[in-house]
Amino acid sequence: MMKWRSNRKPYQGEINFDSYKDKFMFLLIKGEEDECWRMDIGLNIDPLEKYNHFSWRDPKTSKTKTYVARKVAYEVFVGEIPPKMMLMPTCRKLGCVNPKHIKVVTRSELWKEYNGDENEKSERS
Ligand SMILES: [Zn+2]
């Protein structure tokens, strides 16, 4: 059993969800509180490194939209994302959806984090 796969059947995409948050919760593989959390995408790649999007089809309008998993994780577990703010994974794993690993930053803070040479990262616990 690969570490990032859950025990249930791989997601086939036929299930209707009332909201994108419901779909997020369905795909979520919660780890320990301080571990990185992933989405189960049913593929043989580790979603932690690459996967940060999922799509949801609105059963009312039949329109499909793509959502950034990290943003939805923040909305579900923390609350509304402050206007004009960005979310940064403090663990630097693109696909991580553990709200404890998500930090709200400004655009310039985000830029500094990835382009500056300071290695200090703030840990909130
Ligand atoms: Zn993480």
> Taking 70 as the threshold, does the pLDDT of residue 123 lie above it?
no
Q: How close is the Cα of 19 to the center of ligand 1, in Å?
A: 24
Q: Which fold has domain 20-115?
A: Homing Intron 3 (I-Ppo) Encoded Endonuclease; Chain A (3.90.75)
Q: How many CA atoms lie within 13 A of 100 on its CB side?
A: 11
pLDDT tier, 113 (very low <50, low <70, confident <90, very high otherwise) = confident
**At residue 20, what are phi and psi to the nearest 5 degrees?**
-65, -25
Q: How close is the Cα of 17 to the center of ligand 1, in Å?
A: 26
Provide the pLDDT for residue 52.
83
Provide the pLDDT for residue 91.
93
Q: How close is the Cα of 48 to the center of ligand 1, in Å?
A: 8
Predicted structure pTM score: 0.79
Provide the pLDDT for residue 3.
57
